[in-house]
């Protein structure tokens, strides 16, 4: 018995020495912290991000970045999911819905990091900060954020006798009449495939509309997320959506082609991401215009885009990742990224900066996206929100193609979400 006790004590002592040694080793920060950074930003936006990340890499002798393009948002989600299961996850990532990974595992270390005085979290737009939240807590920081803007073909509206600069629609009911007039009188191409309005992302617009009609999309009741979009305020939005189809103002189930149609001059209005300002301005065969999104009871705009998320649990790598994110979100750096890509500045101070003022003077369309920032809104983020989007997609498709009534389609989407959550 005595021998056994001595053995156990010795074992405990040697284990504690081993652990103490381990923790001592752990406490020593490597001279250079190597960070694996994955980013889901491509094309011209990807180039802008890379330039900033490389500048950070060059400026910091203590941090080395290994930058990897991780594909589209969906590809990145698959890549990160697989890598997390095998322990090959990157240290940090710029991706859509990154907070689902950290928040999902109860990692809210970002909450402490954003309190860094040199970060000035109060300078971040409230709606944008909420966009990086998971179940109401900060689990990521906003990066490439955009909102939908209502773009229009000025050649079409001019032909239809509409002056949107003077009389922009404030409500969707007003917009309905304007789109109808544009459709009836503005077919500049004499195209048989001409429509008044469409959106390249129906689910995104529908969620904005829900917010505008006072619907929260989902609500947390007794600690459980519940869909509310099937309630009366949601059905009203669905019925307006259906009225656009019934009046032939919006084609049924053709959202994937909406941008091509708009750029070809066969669509008067399109609700599309604010980042199209940078891509379309000067690249269209017609005069491009933009107005603020109309609303129902208010003019809420659901945000979209990507966030910066720290996936590593290693202290040194986490701190280095934070240094990178902080650098990317510095007013000067993020504003230059935003202005050259069309994403929105996340910092309030950017709006008053000289760079932004100059950009607004050079490209007044930016102003629309900036003006909408005060209406920026992020609904409650939870684990199944990606799945919810696919249920929305099915519901809208059924509504547009007359497969189900608005009530039935939304109820079905709500039931599916409840089942998924359970």
Partner 1 sequence: MAKKLKRMSIPIFLILLLGSIAMIFPFVWMILSAFKTVPDVYAYPPKWLPSSWKFNNYVKVFQMIPFAKYYFNSIFTSTVQTAIQLFLSVTAAYALVVLDFPGKKFLLSLIRSTMFVPIVVTLIPLYLLVSKAKMIDTYAGIILPQVFAAFTIFLLVSFFSTIPQILYDSAKLDGCGYYRILSEVVIPNSKSPISTAMLFSFLGHWKSYTWPLIVTNKATYRTLPIGMKYLVQESSSEYQIMMAASVMAILPVLIVYLFFEKQLVKSITLTGLKA
Q: Give residues in contact with partner 1 (CB under 8 A).
A: 36, 38, 41-47, 66, 68-73, 75, 78-79, 81-83, 85-88, 90, 189, 191, 200-201, 259-260, 263-266, 272-273, 276, 279-280, 283-285
- Closest to partner 1 by CB, 176 vs 343, is 343
Q: Rounded to whole angstroms, how far apart are CA atoms 378 and 211?
A: 9
Question: Radius of gyration of the chain from Cα atoms?
Answer: 25
Of 66 and 374, nearer to partner 1 (C-beta) is: 66
Phi, psi of 55 (to 5 degrees): -65, -40
Closer CB to partner 1, 41 or 141, in the complex? 41
Owner of token pair 């996340």: 346
Euclidean distance between CA atoms 347 and 337, whole angstroms: 12
Residue 126, both tokens: 């409230």
43 versus 223: smaller Cβ distance to partner 1 = 43
Q: How far is the CB of 322 from partner 1 (least distance, A)?
A: 21
Given the complex with partner 1, which of 91 and 236 has the nearer CB atom? 91
Instruction: Please report how close the Cβ of residue 74 comes to partner 1 at its closest, in angstroms.
Output: 10
| Least distance (Å) between residue 54 CB and partner 1 | 14
Cα atoms in the 13 Å half-sphere on the side-chain side of 318:
15
- Among 336, 307, 308, 305, CA closest to 322: 308
State the Cα–Cα distance between residues 391 and 365, nearest whole angstrom: 33
Q: Using CB atoms within 10 Å of the CB of residue 276, give its burial: 0 to 12 exposed, 13 to 18 middle, 19+ buried.
A: buried
How deeply is 374 buried, as exposed, middle or buried, from its count of CB atoms within 10 A (0-12, 13-18, 19+)? exposed
Compute the least distance from the CB of residue 248 to partner 1, in Å.
19
Compute the least distance from the CB of residue 50 to partner 1, in Å: 9
Instruction: Please say which residue, 240 or 286, places its beta carbon nearer to partner 1.
Output: 286
Minimum Å gap between C-beta 272 and partner 1 is 8
Rounded to whole angstroms, the Cα distance separating 63 from 60 reads 6
Quick one: 151 or 176, whose CB is closer to partner 1?
151
Smallest distance from partner 1 to CB 220, Å: 30
């Amino acid at each position: 018995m005595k021998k056994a006790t001595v053995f156990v004590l010795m074992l405990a002592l040697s284990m504690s020495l081993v652990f103490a040694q381990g923790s001592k080793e752990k406490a020593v920060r490597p001279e250079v912290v190597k960070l694996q950074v994955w980013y889901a930003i491509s094309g011209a936006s990807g180039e802008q991000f890379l330039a900033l990340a490389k500048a950070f890499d060059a400026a910091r002798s203590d941090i080395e970045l290994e930058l990897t393009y991780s594909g589209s948002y969906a590809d990145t989600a698959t890549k990160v999911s697989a890598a997390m299961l095998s322990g090959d996850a990157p240290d940090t990532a710029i991706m859509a819905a990154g907070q689902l990974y950290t928040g999902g595992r109860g990692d809210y270390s970002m909450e402490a990091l954003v309190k860094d005085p040199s970060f000035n979290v109060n300078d971040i737009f409230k709606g944008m900060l909420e966009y990086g939240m998971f179940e109401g807590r900060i689990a990521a920081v906003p990066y490439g954020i955009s909102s939908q803007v209502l773009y229009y073909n000025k050649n079409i509206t001019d032909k239809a006798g509409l002056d949107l600069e003077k009389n922009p629609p404030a409500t969707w009911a007003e917009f309905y009449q304007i789109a109808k007039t544009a459709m009836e009188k503005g077919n500049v191409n004499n195209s048989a495939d001409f429509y008044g309005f469409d959106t390249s992302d129906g689910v995104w617009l529908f969620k904005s509309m829900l917010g505008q009609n006072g619907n929260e999309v989902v609500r947390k009741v007794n600690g459980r997320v519940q869909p509310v979009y099937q309630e009366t305020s949601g059905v009203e939005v669905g019925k307006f959506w259906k009225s656009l189809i019934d009046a032939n103002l919006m084609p049924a189930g053709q959202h994937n082609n909406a941008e091509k149609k708009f750029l070809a001059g066969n669509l008067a209005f399109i609700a599309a991401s604010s980042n199209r300002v940078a891509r379309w301005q000067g690249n269209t065969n017609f005069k491009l215009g933009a107005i603020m999104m109309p609303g129902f009871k208010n003019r809420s705009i659901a945000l979209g885009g990507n966030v910066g998320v720290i996936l590593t649990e290693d202290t040194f790598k986490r701190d280095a990742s934070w240094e990178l994110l902080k650098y990317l979100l510095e007013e000067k750096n993020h504003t230059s990224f935003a202005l050259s890509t069309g994403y929105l500045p996340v910092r309030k101070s950017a709006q008053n900066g000289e760079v932004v003022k100059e950009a607004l003077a050079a490209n007044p369309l930016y102003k629309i996206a900036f003006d909408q920032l005060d209406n920026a809104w992020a609904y409650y983020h939870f684990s199944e929100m990606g799945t919810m989007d696919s249920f929305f997609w099915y519901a809208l498709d059924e509504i547009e193609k007359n497969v189900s009534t608005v009530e039935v389609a939304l109820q079905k989407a709500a039931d599916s979400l409840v089942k998924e959550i359970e």
